[in-house]
Each structure stands twice: as C-alpha cells, then as structure tokens.
Chain A
Amino acid sequence: MLKTSLYEEHLQLNAKLVDFAGWQMPIQYKNLKEEVLAVRNDVGVFDVSHMGEFFVRGPQAIDFVDYIVTNDIKNAQMGKAIYSPMCREDGTVIDDLIVYKLAESKVMICVNAANIDKDFDWMNSKTENFDCTLSNHSSDYSLLAIQGPNSFNTLKKLDLNHDLKDISYYSIDIKENGETPIIFARTGYTGEDGFEIFAPHDYIKNVWKQLIEIGVTPCGLGARDVLRLEVCYPLYGHELSDELTPLDSGLKWTVKLNKEDFIGKQVLADANAKYKLIKLTLDRGIPREGYTLANSQGQEIGRITSGTQSVILQKGIALALVDKNLHSSGEEILVNIRNKQYPANIVTKAFVSGGHK
C-alpha cells in the first residue's frame, strides 16, 4: 500500500485511513460533518498527494495537450488552469484532469490517482507527432488542497517562503524551484474558494504542520466527496468512466468542437448522448451509488452514480444517469432502496452553490 509524505501526520491526528486507489488515505479525522462545515464556512486542508502530476515540456507542449484533451488549451491564457476530459477516438473518457499552463513550453497535468498509469501510457503513445516530452513527476510531488472562504487569509499567515498573490479562480502562481516548480493554483474540488499547492514533499510537510499548528481543520476524502457532490462536480469512476462520453456525463461544455483537431472529435461531433446526468433530492431516505431508478410504471430507467446525505441541506442528494430514451423531463422518478420506492425531486441547479468567485 502506498503512503503519502503526510502519513505519519495523519496517524498522529488519529485519522481513519482507507485504501483508495492503492493509497492509504485519510477518509475522516474527528468528524465528517465538522470537516464539511469548516470548508463551507471557514477553511480546511486536504492531503491529496495521491493524485498524479505529469509535465509536458518542449516547443509543442501546448499543441500536444490541446490535441489529447477536449477543452480548449491553446486559446486559454498563460497562467490558467483548465478542467477537461481526455477521450479515446471513440469518445469515451480515459480520465478527467486539470491542465496548468505554466509557460509556452511547459504544461503540468494533474490526473486522478487511480488512472495515473492508464493516462501516462495513453498520452505517451500519442506524443510521436509532437516536439515535446512527457514525464511523470507524481512521486516528486505532494499536493495539499486548502479550501474554504478563509483560504487566502490563512495562507498569508504562513511562512511559505513566497509572497503568495491574490490570483483569480483557476489561475496559478509559480515559485521557481528547478525541476520541481512549486505551484499555487486557485483550484479545488469543493466549490469553495481555495488553493492547491503542488510542491516537493518536505515543503508540503512544512506547510501542513503550520496549518495544523494554527488550528486549520484537517479534512478527509469523506468530506471531500460530500463537498464535491453538494456542488455537483463529477468524479471519475462514478459520473465519468471508460464506457461513457463527456456528452453522457453532462460535460458538453468541455468539448470544444470548434478546435482544429483533437482525439475523439469526429465521434463526439456526430454523437448524441445516451444518458442524461440528473440531480435528485429525497425528502426521505438516502440515495446511494448503485441504487436503481424507476418511472411510475415501475420500469427501470437508470441508476445513481453518487449519493449521500447533504450536510448543508440535511437530506439525501444524488447524481444519477438516466437512459434518455426511457425518461423525458418532468416525469416522476422513484429510487429503489432496499425493495422500497422513494419519490425523488429532480432539481436543475447544484444542491449547494459554492462560494468561489
């Protein structure tokens, strides 16, 4: 089992550890609800060092990344972070990732921990027509997510050996550090304002200790999942998978068909979504991943991809994939929970509106 550089710190804080994509990760420290509320109302810190970091370097680094992902990298401003799916030729999603435009000839890509090898092999097989090199720096980096409305103020109190700038959402601030630049990105997966810090292990350990010292709430993957679900962010392996296209997962906005060329373009240009990703709340009962959905005639029309009790709404919330041919909007949906049917409310807006600007 793999351990992050903060493993000992988690033990000291009595974290509950679980196996996540081969890593021993903290799922919860003291109390999941308090961790969620810390992020919504104040600030919390997550160790997400299990995630992967790739660098693409060379004159055609940006061209290459633009070609392998569906979102527009070329026209994005330098110093910006861009969320995108990465697809196969048939349009199915290999992973969803964040591209960081560090310089004209340098791009960092942050990928899901479970997909590091799959992504690297895929990307590597596509580099031949581009003047660039791809390298996997996942083991050189640790990653902290500092999230919540007080993230910036909190980070300004620390000794970061860097004058952190008040950058805008999805922008980056780089501290040069040889082969392993330290990257402060105003990104995260909670819907709140916040920063992610990509840095060598010792630097991250030092920042973590300072944060805990001044009383910042350590938060586990359990809280992170509730937070991302409350703001309806998709998660690979749940709303996104090898069998689905970005169109199936409600990510049409990330597929830029006006781009010159990219892998999957031909198929995605003509494809129709098979599924619709919908948002449900339950007045009674808690929807969980895998529960099936039925219409009022009892016909199965889909399944829940992620579900939980919302800490903010204090009721069950879920994302679900429904078959477009079996469901038209406005029709009643029932959730099958242990052989009982619970009526669901279909909502259009995110369950919780995050505070990021």
Chain B
Amino acid sequence: MAKILDGLKYTEDHEWISVEDGVATIGITDFAQSSLGDIVFVELPDEGESLEAGNSFGVVESIKSVSDLYTPVNGSILEKNTTIEDSPESLNEDAYGSWLIKVKLENEADIESLMDSTAYKEYCESNS
C-alpha cells in the first residue's frame, strides 16, 4: 500500500501540495512513483515561469514512459528542485521528501478544492 501523509493536499494526477505563507510546494505521491517504476529523468520549469492550473509544468520519465506533471494552482515558480533533476531516483526513494517546485500562489483558495489525505486514500483504492 502506498504511503499517504496527513496534512497534505492531493490531486487526481497523484501530486501532493503543501502550503505555507502563500507558497505551494508540489511533488508527486508515493502512489505515483510506485506506478511509474524507476524514475530516470525529470524536467522542471525555471524560476519566474508562470503556471496555469490544469496545464503541464514538466515531465517525469521512467525507463519506458513519459508522464506529464500538472499544476492544480495558478502562480509563478519561485524555485525548482535542481537536486531532483540531477538525481531523479530520489523520487523513488522518498516521494514526499523530494519536492519538485515551489509556487507563489495567485489565489490560496485554489487548493481548497483538492483532496485531503482521507479522500486521496479512497481515490487511490478505487483507482488501483
């Protein structure tokens, strides 16, 4: 069973989001890394780029597959985790410890519609 942490928000595309002081930190969930298998490449947007909710902001690639990363929020990139670009396998080792981007939120209310850990757990169970 994939690990799900309390206190985070989750998307249907299997990303996790935590928010502090108007800044959202986004990563992929343990369920996502486990379904992808060995992650070998990550491409992230540069600082200053703007994000539109529902659009792709990057990709994660396993040996055989390419998957888009989708942002659930509007905002602009404050920082990307360059460590992950250099060692993408850390997503397999610790998905919640390996954030991908930090986003300055345009509207904090964007995250209210996202799932909490209980809802996400049910979502994973019905999708596996």
Contact = CB atoms under 8 A, between A and B. Distances in A.
A311 B37 CA distance: 13
Contacts of B37: 28, 31-33
A288 interface: yes
A288 B63 contact: no
Decide if the interface of chain B is mainly helix, strand, loop or mixed: strand
B59 A226 contact: no
A33 B38 contact: yes
B43 A226 contact: no
B123 interface: no
- Please classify the interface of chain A as helix (H, G, I), strand (E, B), loop, or mixed, using the class held by over half of its residues: mixed
Given A31-B38, A32-B38, A338-B43, A309 B66 contact: no
B38 A288 contact: no
A11 to B, nearest CB: 15
B64 A225 contact: yes
B40 interface: yes
A97 B22 CA distance: 61
Interface string B29-69: 00000000110110100000000000000010111101000
**Of listed B62, B64, B66, residue having the most chain A CB within 10 A:** B64
A24 B38 CA distance: 23
A309 B59 contact: no
Contact of A33 (B59, B63, B66): B63
Interface residues of B, number: 11
A27 B62 CA distance: 14
A222 B66 contact: no
A288 B41 contact: no
B38 A222 contact: no
A226 B64 contact: yes
B59 A338 contact: yes
Contact of A285 (B38, B41, B62, B64): B41
Contacts of A311: 63
Nearest to B38: A33
B63 A222 contact: yes
Contacts of B62: 32, 309
Residue of A32, A285, A286 with most chain B CB atoms under a 10 A cut-off: A286
A225 B64 CA distance: 9
Contacts of A309: 40-41, 61-63
A226 B38 CA distance: 14
B69 to A, nearest CB: 12
A22 B66 CA distance: 23
A308 interface: yes
Interface in A23-73: 27-28, 31-33
A109 to B, nearest CB: 29
Contacts of A314: 40
A181 B61 CA distance: 44
Contacts of A285: 41
A309 B41 CA distance: 9
B43 A308 contact: no
Given A286-B40, A311-B63, 7 more contacts: A31-B38, A32-B37, A32-B63, A33-B38, A285-B41, A286-B61, A309-B62
Interface of B: 37-38, 40-41, 43, 59, 61-64, 66
29 contacts: A27-B64, A28-B37, A31-B37, A31-B38, A32-B37, A32-B62, A32-B63, A32-B64, A33-B37, A33-B38, A33-B63, A222-B63, A222-B64, A225-B64, A226-B63, A226-B64, A285-B41, A286-B40, A286-B41, A286-B61, A286-B66, A288-B66, A308-B64, A309-B61, A309-B62, A309-B63, A311-B63, A316-B41, A338-B43
